[in-house]
C-alpha cells in the first residue's frame, strides 16, 4: 500500500568491514548501571533493579562529527556508554541465551539535557525531552561479535577538550549485557535493529558550545563530537 506522505528515512549505523549498514529500530538505555554514577546522581545503587528509558532512532549521529549545540538547555551533559546492537529479536530471552541475540557493539554518547531531566524528576514527569531529543545519540561504527567478541571488561572514558572527564571499566556494570537483554525482553519484545545503551560511569559534566568530546571504549571503538559554537 502506498504511503500518504513520504516515508521517513531509516536511520542507520555503519558496520566495520561491511558495505551494508545496521538499520536502527529503537534505542533502549539502561539507567544508573555504574554504582559510582548512581551515587553521583544521589542514588543508592545497591537497592534498585535495572530501569530503562528510550530515545527515538532519529537520535543517532553515526560517526559523530561537528553538530549543533542543542536547544532548550543550560546544562548539557555527556554520558559515554557501551552500545549493544541487537541482531535477533525476542521476548522473555533467558540470560544464558541473551548473547545469541547480539549482532555487535559500538560506543556512543547518551547526551542529556540535565536541567530538563532534573525538572522531570522533581515533578514526576517523563524523561523524553531530556534524553530523546534530536542528535542525542552520537555513535561509532558497529563492530561485529565475530570481530570484537562480547566485551566484559576494558576502559571506557570520554575526554572534553583533551581532559579526561569520565573514566570507568566495563567490569563495573551493575547489570551485565546478558542480564540487561534478558530483563528488558520481559517488558518488550526486542527487535532486530534495537540498540541498548548500557549505562555510564561517574564523571558526567556539562558541555558548552565549541567543546570537543572524544569517547573511547577499549576494543570497541571511539566517537568524536564537536559542538558548534
Q: Which residues bind Mn ion (CB under 5 A)?
A: 79, 110, 200
Which of 110/194 has CB closer to Mn ion? Answer: 110
* Residue 69: strand, helix, or coil: coil
The C-alpha atoms of residue 50 and residue 73 are separated, in whole angstroms, by 27
Of 117 and 185, which CB lies nearer to Mn ion in the complex structure?
Answer: 117
Closest residue to Mn ion: CB criterion = 110
Q: Of all helices (H) and strands (E), which one includes residue 127?
A: none
Q: Which is nearer to Mn ion, 15 or 83 (CB)?
A: 83
Helix or strand or coil: residue 141? coil
Q: How far is the CB of 79 from Mn ion (least distance, A)?
A: 4
Minimal distance, residue 201 CB to Mn ion, in Å: 10
8, three cell numbers:
521517513
Please give the Cα distance from 220 to 215 (Å, whole number): 11
Question: Least distance to Mn ion from the beta carbon of 28, Å?
Answer: 11
Q: Which helix (H) or strand (E) holds 131?
A: helix 128-131
Instruction: State in angstroms the smallest separation of the CB of 123 from Mn ion.
Output: 20
Q: What is the DSSP letter of 64?
A: -
**Residue 79 vs 194, nearer CB to Mn ion:** 79
Strands 52-55 and 206-207 turn out to be unpaired
Q: How far is CA 72 from the centre of its chain?
A: 21
CA 66 – CA 211 distance, rounded (Å): 10
DSSP 8-state class, residue 94: -
Q: b/e for 119-148, b at 16 or more Cβ within 10 A?
A: ebeeeeeebeebbbbebbbbbbbbbbbeeb
Based on CB atoms, which residue is closest to Mn ion, 79 or 103?
A: 79
Nearest to 54 by CA among 134, 138, 127, 113: 127
CB of 197 to Mn ion, least distance (A): 6
CB of 54 or CB of 200, closer to Mn ion: 200
Shortest Å, Cβ 110 to Mn ion: 3
Amino acid at each position: 500500500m502506498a504511503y500518504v506522505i513520504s516515508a521517513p528515512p531509516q536511520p542507520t549505523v555503519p558496520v566495520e568491514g561491511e558495505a551494508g549498514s545496521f538499520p536502527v529500530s529503537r534505542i533502549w538505555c539502561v539507567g544508573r548501571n555504574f554504582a559510582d554514577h548512581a551515587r553521583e546522581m544521589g542514588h543508592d545503587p545497591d537497592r534498585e533493579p535495572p530501569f530503562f528509558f528510550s530515545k527515538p532512532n532519529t537520535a543517532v549521529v553515526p560517526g559523530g562529527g561537528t553538530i549543533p549545540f542543542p536547544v532548550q538547555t543550560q546544562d548539557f551533559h555527556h554520558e559515554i556508554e557501551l552500545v549493544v546492537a541487537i541482531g535477533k529479536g525476542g521476548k522473555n530471552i533467558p540470560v544464558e541465551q541473551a548473547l545469541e541475540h547480539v549482532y555487535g557493539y559500538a560506543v556512543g554518547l547518551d547526551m542529556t539535557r540535565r536541567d530538563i531531566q532534573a525538572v522531570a524528576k522533581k515533578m514526576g514527569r517523563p524523561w523524553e525531552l531530556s534524553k530523546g531529543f534530536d542528535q542525542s545519540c552520537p555513535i561509532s561504527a558497529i563492530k561485529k561479535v565475530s570481530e570484537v567478541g562480547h566485551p566484559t571488561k576494558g576502559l571506557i572514558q570520554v575526554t572534553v577538550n583533551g581532559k579526561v572527564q569520565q573514566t570507568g571499566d566495563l567490569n563495573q556494570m551493575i547489570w551485565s549485557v546478558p542480564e540487561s537483554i534478558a530483563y528488558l525482553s520481559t517488558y518488550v519484545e526486542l527487535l532486530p535493529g534495537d540498540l541498548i545503551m548500557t549505562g555510564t560511569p561517574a564523571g558526567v559534566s556539562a558541555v558548552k558550545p565549541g567543546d570537543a568530546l572524544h569517547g573511547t571504549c577499549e576494543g570497541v571503538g571511539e566517537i568524536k563530537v564537536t559542538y558548534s559554537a
